[in-house]
Amino acid sequence: MSQSLKKSLLIFFIVQFLIAIPLFLFPINLFKGKVEIEINGKTAIEEAPLSLSYFIGKGYEPSELMDIKNFYLTTEGYLMAFVFLIGIPILFALRLSTYRK
How do the domains of the chain map onto residue ranges? 3-98
Contact 51, 27 (CB under 8 A): yes
- Write the CB contacts of 85 (distance below 8 Å, at least 6 apart in sequence): 16, 19, 20, 23
pLDDT at 101: 47
pLDDT at 24: 94
pLDDT at 100: 56
What pLDDT tens digit does each residue of the chain (101 aa) get?
A: 788 788 889 999 999 999 999 999 999 999 999 999 988 888 899 999 999 998 888 877 777 778 888 899 999 999 999 999 999 999 999 888 776 54
Model-level pTM?
Answer: 0.84
Coil vs helix vs strand at 33: strand
